[in-house]
A and B are shown apart, each in its own frame.
Chain A
């Protein structure tokens, strides 16, 4: 055996002859054996850690876990291709969608016929022929929406916010039973139906339906207008406002005054010769809790849509009966006593927001409003259209007027009968059930006439109102003599078109 070579002293290459037999034994890398000095090109079953590959001779194949490609174009979509190199789909033209033809995926424009999303027997499709959106569930037509935004439902519609959602009556100011469109300067009276003009000072402005005849906003024919007659400096306790009191029955579902109080949205359209911040408020029947709100009119003499969402009050008392549920107030000039910070509830009788523009403060200033809607939820939906007859009937729950205007002067009121030598009664049935037994006023007695079969014609005496309920009552006509007990009579206009009888059950 040769003398062991001293490796530490080696100054040149170590000859193999100097290695003992053990160094001639192959070493194993992975499961591949080789001897030192040999060249190997393949190593099998080798696990490497922390490896950096600087290059490969050919792309790693799909079978080897690669893509089989030398590059992937930016923004292309990769498609599988068996064991061959992957395929790609380029984005193509703007608006294209990835579409299957049953075999391949391609980038293409929406179909010339229609596009649809399907899940079994349910699908939604968009027709390129007419633009309609159609949905099917379980293979049955469920809904069609056309390009005029009409939505057609073959089955029952269930909505979070229902039809008849507007709690405001006569929000489009169409009904004006009392004034028939005439303007007035009267204070603390009703203007168009359901809207009162409340004022602490007389003669500070004129109100009326379609006052000054500006063009209403698109879709409306009427508005309620106010024009200031002077530059009145509002005092601390002054107030000027349009108010609609809403009956408690019509807000009972809002659960106001409880932890479940619902949010509401108040929307309307306003037009003013002034610009700036305007104000209003909601308040309860007792005037002990209120919510001042503000809104901005940026452009003078331009209809401006406004939407205000208000979280419902969780405290205080809100009537859910035929009493006043909530009053909706639009300020036209309100003093500091009745003005509070906008945007929060307060245990105070506020009518408007602090700093709101005073319409009565500028001579000749105008303020017009229409399309008022108060609804549940945080979204202002389009103004709810009701048929004229429906709106009139809603108004007549609070005010009803018999009038000879428009007639031939002999319009009938009712038939009745004498029940003594001096008195006769005429039964009156209202068009709708009124909120309360109504108060009644009559035009002058001389505008009425009694056709009496037995007692002769008469246009004297005096009227009164008796035995009233929410559905009916009686007009009693009293004379000094001449009525026959038990005989029929008819009450009519006395050749007059200015006779009227007004029934009030307002809040």
Chain B
């Protein structure tokens, strides 16, 4: 269960996603080989999750 996703920036560009995974706050790098990132992107593609822009 991925919820409350938001990009995090470093040096002015997105570098990871802060997201609650089964209720635990996690930080997921933008690496297609990372299974969390792949799952998040699948949910986004399916319209089931939105990633908020970085603050």
Judge: A and B partners, yes or no: yes
Chain B: number of interface residues, binned into ranges: 10 to 19
User: Mask for B14-51, Cβ within 8 A of A = 1, else 0?
Assistant: 01101001001111110101111100000000000000
The answer, among B24, B28, B33, B36, for a CB contact under 8 Å with A323, is B33
A466 contacts B15, C-beta separation under 8 Å: yes
B26 contacts A440, C-beta separation under 8 Å: yes
Contacts A441-B24, A467-B15 given: A473-B29 contact, CB under 8 Å?
yes
Whether A490 sits at the interface, judged by CB under 8 Å, is no
Report B-chain residues with C-beta under 8 Å of the C-beta of A476.
8, 10
Contacts A464-B8, A465-B27, A466-B10 given: A438-B34 contact, CB under 8 Å?
yes
Tell me the smallest distance from the CB of A97 to a CB of chain B, in Å.
Answer: 64
Interface of B is mostly: strand
Bound Cα distance from A507 to B27, whole angstroms: 17
Q: Which of A279-325 contact B (CB under 8 A)?
A: 322-323
Report A-chain residues with C-beta under 8 Å of the C-beta of B35.
436, 506-507
Closest to A442 in B: B25
Closest to A423 in B: B10
Whether A458 sits at the interface, judged by CB under 8 Å, is no
Tell me the smallest distance from the CB of A452 to a CB of chain B, in Å.
Answer: 21
Report A-chain residues with C-beta under 8 Å of the C-beta of B15.
466-468
A437 contacts B10, C-beta separation under 8 Å: no
Report A-chain residues with C-beta under 8 Å of the C-beta of B33.
322-323, 435-437
Tell me the smallest distance from the CB of B4 to a CB of chain A, in Å.
Answer: 14
Bound Cα distance from A464 to B10, whole angstroms: 11
Report B-chain residues with C-beta under 8 Å of the C-beta of A468.
15-16, 29, 31
Closest to A502 in B: B26
Bound Cα distance from A465 to B29, whole angstroms: 8
A464 contacts B34, C-beta separation under 8 Å: no
Bound Cα distance from A474 to B8, whole angstroms: 12
Report A-chain residues with C-beta under 8 Å of the C-beta of B36.
439, 504
Closest to B31 in A: A437
Report A-chain residues with C-beta under 8 Å of the C-beta of B37.
439
Closest to B14 in A: A466
Bound Cα distance from A504 to B21, whole angstroms: 12
Bound Cα distance from A435 to B33, whole angstroms: 8
The answer, among A437, A506, A507, for a CB contact under 8 Å with B29, is A437
Bound Cα distance from A442 to B37, whole angstroms: 18
A505 contacts B34, C-beta separation under 8 Å: yes
B26 contacts A439, C-beta separation under 8 Å: yes
Bound Cα distance from A474 to B35, whole angstroms: 20
Bound Cα distance from A441 to B24, whole angstroms: 8
Tell me the smallest distance from the CB of B30 to a CB of chain A, in Å.
Answer: 8
Most A Cβ at <10 Å: residue of B16, B26, B29: B29
Report B-chain residues with C-beta under 8 Å of the C-beta of A467.
10, 15
User: Mask for A459-480, Cβ within 8 A of B = 1, else 0?
Assistant: 0000011111000011010000
The answer, among A439, A442, A466, for a CB contact under 8 Å with B34, is A439
Tell me the smallest distance from the CB of A257 to a CB of chain B, in Å.
Answer: 20
Report B-chain residues with C-beta under 8 Å of the C-beta of A442.
25
User: Mask for A483-507, Cβ within 8 A of B = 1, else 0?
Assistant: 0000000000000000000001111
B27 contacts A440, C-beta separation under 8 Å: yes
6 A-B contact pairs sorted by A residue (CB < 8 Å): A436-B33, A437-B31, A439-B27, A439-B28, A439-B34, A440-B26
- 5 additional A-B pairs beyond A465-B27, A506-B35, beta carbons within 8 Å, are A323-B33, A441-B21, A464-B8, A465-B16, A474-B10
